[in-house]
Structure 1
Amino acid sequence: MAQDKADELAKQLSNPIASLVSVPFQYNIDFGIGPDGDGVSQTLNIQPVIPIRINESWNLISRTIVPVKWETNIYPRDVFGIGDTVQSLFLSPTAPGPGGLIWGVGPVFNLPTATDKLLGTGQFGIGPTAVGLIQEGRWTFGTLANHIWSVDKNAEVNATFVQPFVAYALGSGQTLTLDTETTYNWNSEQATVPINAQYTKVFTIGDQPASFQAGGRVYVNRPKYGPDWGLRANFSLLFPK
């Protein structure tokens, strides 16, 4: 892959609402869970991103997260299956705004697709989501956020997610990213705050563009019996227009 093309794809990957079809397979493993600290949570997030061109001025970006989970030494029994699906839709201008601002807003949905009650809420949820970022030179700065309420009267889902991120392009399709993926549960009044550091490399398999990402995280704040630290590996298929 030519270096310029690899760098452009790497730049688009740092933008959650870029006009780039991608199919990431993101594997996460977290350690230190439970009262004894021997619980392990593994999640494979299948999260396709599909931009849809509405007209010359606007795009609609679909971001889907389908988690496949394996929880061991956390519950009275080990659990494997699919968790709840999170579906986001962003309406975004095709051209950056003042100051180079790239932004998108829309709805987010929690779909009760869990195959086991221990892996999901069992409730349908809905709320707003938004993202804003600026890409200048080798740097990308931005924040993605959403809030989901369940429509069920029991309101078991009432959570805010905030993900500020900064990425630096190293060249040759390589990127370093630092972010947090903070979730605040308003029902339990508990915050989960992991700090993630990740390295990404764009490459090709034959003629197929792809990327690989690896990194780790530490939890600077967690609910009681939550994880201490974790690792991440991400393989993405890329389909540039």
Structure 2
Amino acid sequence: MKKILVVALALITMLGLPAYAQESAEDLAKKLANPVAALISLPFQLNYDTNIGPVDDGDRWLLNIQPVVPISIGDDWNLISRTILPVIFQDDIAPGLGSQEGIGDIVQSLFFSPKAPTKGWIWGVGPVFLLPSGSDDLLTADKWGAGPTAVALKQTGPWTYGVLANHIWSFAGDDDRADVNSTFIQPFVTYTTTSAISVTLQTESLYDWDTEQWSVPLMVVVTQVTKIGNQMVSFGGGVRYWAESPENGPEGWGGRLVFTLMFPK
């Protein structure tokens, strides 16, 4: 757990440069609710889950470092890069395995998104890649993967609602490891107040087509956009309940803390 915090603090130190926002905190909160907004951001998402393993004795801390970088392509399009770098500490997920800590597999998404909404809809499509960057055999699928990803949403007044999805197939890697053939679906709805408080209800569901098992965590997260010095940030947290979990997966309740650095133009 200490190494997870060290990584987070190091990245904050390197990237926490002053940002002089021209937009209101409410506008920035709405942009954070949009996965393909033209906003450079660096979210740190710390998750905790328990009751993992065949005897429900394991727990896991997972810090997702998720830089989002929009790149302008001409007058009409943006390319949005969204990276998920997991830093993991887990203990007793199976009898006799002890604890593991380190880096997990990176998921890299690229969305081609029009700068202007299409009939009120904001959307993006592109490829997603799975990179076997895990530092421990128990923290990696040890497979290279790729597939399509897409997002579609609407923003009406204080409301943002939509869905993000992808599918990843493995195409290379260790032949002795299980193939990857999974669909990720993230429907979400967010209400943002004039004081830049956002309440989000979502699920980050995953279906494994080979094992025919679902992972369905239901989550409520509350965040606040504010300024620390000249740096715009968002912070908050929430709870998660595992409505459905794969064999030996987490059960019951979990939690999430979020801290995001924003760099508006």
Q: Same fold per TM (> 0.5)?
A: yes
State the Cα deviation string for residues 13-60 of structure 1 (Å, max 9, x = none).
Answer: 000000000001110000111232221011111100000001110000
- Identical-residue share of aligned pairs (%): 54
**Gaps in structure 2 of 5+ consecutive residues:** 1-19
Match of 1:235 in 2: 259
1:179 is aligned, of 202, 208, 225, to 202
Match of 1:196 in 2: 219
Would you say 1:9 and 2:28 are equivalent positions?
A: yes
1:227 shift after superposition: 1.0
Match of 1:22 in 2: 41
Give the alignment's Cα RMSD to 1 decimal: 1.4
Q: Secondary structure at the match of 1:124?
A: strand
Match of 1:61 in 2: 80
Aligned-partner Cα distance in 2 for 1:103–1:116:
36
Would you say 1:102 and 2:119 are equivalent positions?
A: no
1:169 shift after superposition: 0.9
Match of 1:220 in 2: 243
State the Cα deviation string for residues 45-82 of structure 1 (Å, max 9, x = none).
Answer: 11000000011100000000000001111131211010
State the TM-score, normalized to the length of structure 1: 0.96
**Gaps in structure 1 of 5+ consecutive residues:** none
Match of 2:15 in 1: none
Aligned-partner Cα distance in 1 for 2:209–2:75:
40
Q: Secondary structure at the match of 2:27?
A: helix
Poorly superposed stretches of 4+, deviation over 3 Å:
none
1:87 is aligned, of 101, 104, 108, to 108
State the TM-score, normalized to the length of structure 2: 0.88
Match of 1:70 in 2: 89
Q: Secondary structure at the match of 2:138?
A: helix
Of Structure 1 and Structure 2, which has the larger fraction of its residues in strand? 1
